[in-house]
Amino acid sequence: MGRAAGWIISPGARLTAVTASATPQVLKSTRVQTCARRLGHLPDLPTYPFNQTVLRMHLPRRFPFVRRALRRGVPSGLARRDGISLLLTVLLWLLVWLVPGCLEPGLAQGIGAAEHVVHWQQGFIESARIVGLEEGAAVFRTSSQDTQRDPSGQTERRIPLDALVGWGGWTGLQRQAAVWLIDGSWVCGELTITSGGDVQVASDWFDCPTIPVGLVRGIVFKPPYSLQNWLARWKDLARATGDTDAVWTTKGETLRGIVRWPAQESALRMFALESQGQSAELLLTEVEAIVYAPKLLGPVPRKRHGFSLALSDGSLLHCKTLQGGSGRNVQVVLDCGMELPSWVNAAQLARQVRGVFGYPPQVVWLSDLSPADYKFLSERSPRWDLGRDLDVYGRPLVAPDRGIVPTGLAMHAASRVAYRHDGRPARLRGEVLMAPPQSADQQLGSVVVQVLVAQQGRLRQADAVQLRRTQPATHLVDVDLSGVQLIVIVVDQWDYEQLGDHVAWLHARIDPP
């Protein structure tokens, strides 16, 4: 062995001397990788080269001092046994070790602190948080007494993905750019456009292959930074029509034409937009979003056959299968056929899950049914239509404590909707809450929600709840439909008739017995 020429960080987080002829420095310690991820979402591989590319791609731009310290400390400073660099590096690791999450609250703990209701075919599991992903199942922890307790004193419940209806929500695109795939999935990360319009995504959690332009429905280059801004951008993207491409610029313009990407191998910084025989070049820094010819790609599917994962970075993945789990890395196969192997194992990926939604084939969604009758009963307010998987304003359904929920109904007071039923044993289920206001003048609002059922020629009240926006609360509906011929849902004002009197019924469905 030659003379000791530097240091690397080894398993157990010890500083170990190495020779000048040693292999490239590699982070192998799980504890050290955890610290790095808390700062910069460093992928948790068994061996991962800690080089300039990793620093540039995975450390957030808002922590430049961290990037500079690590660049000086690990790749070069430690190799030179530079005392100052060594001290800075050790202090940095101690900072992350002792004060996890102080730089970005909630990142270190992930979704572990978030508890929501689990909707599945057999009912509800209240106050549950996701702790694991397995092949064909999601694992939740809850304080419910009807499940087997784990060693920590909490309880665990394994729910098959083909029986799961929904848990949590999707935060939407907020902090990162994203690619919109033809199956409706959103993959977030640093984007690089290559020859012909193919897209490379540096994801925090997945080793994404190069995405061919034929799988791309659209691209969002500028993150909206808030859920409200994303809802506004989403309406623009969803309403795009025609057989030409749509481009939204940073100046607030919407341009139509054919997007032409240069045929070169390096990262592209501009493209040409052709329209009516003319061509104009646009820099990517001047573009907020692109949607490719919606008429040619067809509509985004409303209901699916697999499941969907919503992640902390804003990604929404519509999946066919999930392979791996139980301490191993996972691989998800999207509806469009693209395979995404994860950087991290199943338990670590579960901590980044903000929502998981299933689409059991036995479940009947009320939003898919044609109502037997719908009436808006108020004469003092503009007419409001029934929202089917959208709110009364045509936006995605939103729960204030979760984000976007893909399925459900929305109604404004005073209105009534009726559905026919064949009397077979089943359960009417869902979660009712006051929908978020559209503007500041709608902060008030109160409603009375009733569920009426017609059975043996008589109409009776099966459930009722009063909701007020100043007292946020949700109500779980679970009604037996045995022998029922008609279901009537009524939303009426409680005290005053206001524009804010509208509700969302999340995961409104009829479950089999």
116 Ramachandran zone, left/alpha/beta (phi>0; psi -120 to 50): beta
Element (H, E) at 347: helix 346-350
pLDDT of res. 93: 57
At position 420, the amino acid (one-letter code) is R
Measured distance CA(108)–CA(249) in Å, rounded? 35
The tens digit of pLDDT for each residue in 339-395 reads 999 998 998 999 999 999 999 999 999 999 999 999 998 776 678 899 999 999 899
81 Ramachandran zone, left/alpha/beta (phi>0; psi -120 to 50): left
Measured distance CA(467)–CA(380) in Å, rounded? 21
CATH class of 364-511: mainly beta
pLDDT of res. 179: 97
Is 80 exceeded by the pLDDT of residue 221? yes
Higher-pLDDT residue of 441, 395: 395
CA-based end-to-end distance of the chain: 71
Measured distance CA(454)–CA(202) in Å, rounded? 55
Is 70 exceeded by the pLDDT of residue 107? no
Residues paired with residue 318 on neighbouring β-strands, in sequence order: 308
Average pLDDT over residues 28-32: 38
Neighbours of 288 (CB within 10 A): 20
- In percent, the amount of the chain with pLDDT more than 70 equals 72
At position 491, the amino acid (one-letter code) is V
Closest C-alpha among 512, 291, 504 to residue 406 = 504
Average pLDDT over residues 499-505: 84
The tens digit of pLDDT for each residue in 114-141 reads 899 999 999 999 989 999 999 889 999 9
Average pLDDT over residues 44-71: 39
Question: What number of helices (H) and strands (E) belong to the chain?
Answer: 7, 37
Pairing mode, strands 353-358 and 339-345: unpaired
Residues paired with residue 511 on neighbouring β-strands, in sequence order: 427
pLDDT of res. 87: 67
Q: For the chain, give the mean pLDDT.
A: 79
Residue 399: phi and psi, rounded to 5, are -105, 125
Residue 479 three-state SS: strand
Higher-pLDDT residue of 39, 494: 494
* Region of poorest pLDDT, from 86-90, 391-395, 401-405, 498-502: 86-90
Confidence of residue 468 (pLDDT cuts 50, 70, 90): confident
Q: Is 497 exposed, middle or buried (0-12, 13-18, 19+ CB in 10 A)?
A: middle
pLDDT of res. 472: 76
In the chain, how long is the greatest CA-to-CA distance?
Answer: 93
Residue 372 three-state SS: coil
Contacts of 283 (CB under 8 A, 6+ apart): 269, 270
pLDDT of res. 383: 82
Measured distance CA(191)–CA(177) in Å, rounded? 7
At position 224, the amino acid (one-letter code) is P
For residues 455-475, one letter each, b for 16 or more C-beta atoms within 10 angstroms of the residue's C-beta and e for the rest, the string is beeeeeebbebebebeeeebb
Measured distance CA(42)–CA(70) in Å, rounded? 13
Average pLDDT over residues 69-80: 42
For residues 96-128, one letter each, b for 16 or more C-beta atoms within 10 angstroms of the residue's C-beta and e for the rest, the string is beeebeebeeebbebbeebbbbbbbbeebbeeb
CA dihedral sign, ordered 177, 180, 185, 190: negative
The tens digit of pLDDT for each residue in 235-260 reads 899 989 999 999 999 999 999 999 99
Token pair 């390096």 is found at: 266
Higher-pLDDT residue of 408, 148: 408
Measured distance CA(339)–CA(324) in Å, rounded? 13
Tokens of 382: 């503009």
Q: Domain ranges in the chain?
A: 4-98, 110-359, 364-511
Token pair 């679970």 is found at: 478
Residues paired with residue 193 on neighbouring β-strands, in sequence order: 199
What is the CA 100 to chain-centroid distance, rounded?
24
Average pLDDT over residues 147-161: 70
Closest C-alpha among 285, 172, 182 to residue 229 = 172
Contacts of 189 (CB under 8 A, 6+ apart): 176, 177, 178, 201, 202, 203, 204, 208, 313
Q: Read off the DSSP letter of residue 237.
A: H
pLDDT of res. 174: 86
The tens digit of pLDDT for each residue in 166-196 reads 999 999 998 899 999 999 999 999 999 998 8
